[in-house]
Amino acid sequence: MRLNLFLVFLAIFVTDLHAQEGGTLSANASIASYVSTGKDLPFWLRSNQDGVFQSPNSITQLLRTGFSRSFETGGSGKWDYTFGAEIVAGYGDKIYYQPNQYWVGARYDWLTMRIGAEADSVRFGGLSSTNGNLDAANNARPVPRIALATNGFVSFPFKEGFFSWKANYSEGMILDNSYIQNAHLHHKSFDARIELPWKLDVTFGLEHYVFWGGTSPSLGPLPGWKDYFRYILSMKGGSDFPISDQGNVAGSQFYLYNLEIHKVFNEKQVSIYWNHPFQNRAGMKLANIADGLWGIHVSMGTEPRILNEFVYEWMNTLSQDNIASSNQISGGESYFNNSEYQSGFTHFAQMMGSPLFVPTLNDTGVSMGFEDTRMWMHHIGLKGFLGKNLVWKVMLTYSGNFGSNGYSLQTPVTELSSFEEIIYIPKNSPLEFNVAVANDLGQRFENRTGFTAGLKWRPSEETKKRGTWVIRKRRYF
10-residue mean pLDDT profile of the chain (477 residues): values are 41 37 78 96 96 93 93 74 95 93 94 96 95 94 96 80 92 94 97 92 97 95 95 94 91 95 93 93 80 96 91 93 42 81 95 95 93 94 93 97 79 94 90 96 96 86 39 34
- CATH fold of 2-466, please? Porin (2.40.160)
Question: Whole-angstrom Cα distance, residue 302 to residue 458?
Answer: 18
**Residues in contact with 2: Cβ distance below 8 Å, sequence separation at least 6, in sequence order:** none
* Nearest one of 189, 170, 140, 186 to 341, comparing CA atoms: 186
Question: Whole-angstrom Cα distance, residue 52 to residue 141?
Answer: 7
Q: How many CB atoms lie within 10 A of CB 260?
A: 19
- Predicted confidence at residue 317, as pLDDT, reads 93
Domain residue ranges in the chain: 2-466
Question: Whole-angstrom Cα distance, residue 335 to residue 337?
Answer: 6
- Predicted confidence at residue 460, as pLDDT, reads 52
3-class DSSP state for residue 246?
helix
- Predicted confidence at residue 285, as pLDDT, reads 80
Element (H, E) at 231: helix 228-232
- Predicted confidence at residue 12, as pLDDT, reads 38
- Predicted confidence at residue 3, as pLDDT, reads 43
**Residues in contact with 195: Cβ distance below 8 Å, sequence separation at least 6, in sequence order:** 162, 163, 164, 201
Give helix then strand counts, H and E, for the chain. 6, 23
**Residues in contact with 215: Cβ distance below 8 Å, sequence separation at least 6, in sequence order:** 180, 181, 182, 221, 222
Helices (H), 272-385: 281-284
Under a CB-based contact definition with an 8 Å cutoff, are residues 131 and 124 in contact?
yes
Terminal Cα-to-Cα distance of the chain (whole angstroms)? 25
- pTM (two decimals): 0.87
- Predicted confidence at residue 412, as pLDDT, reads 86
Residue 235 DSSP label: P
- Predicted confidence at residue 474, as pLDDT, reads 36
- Predicted confidence at residue 159, as pLDDT, reads 65
Length of the chain: 477
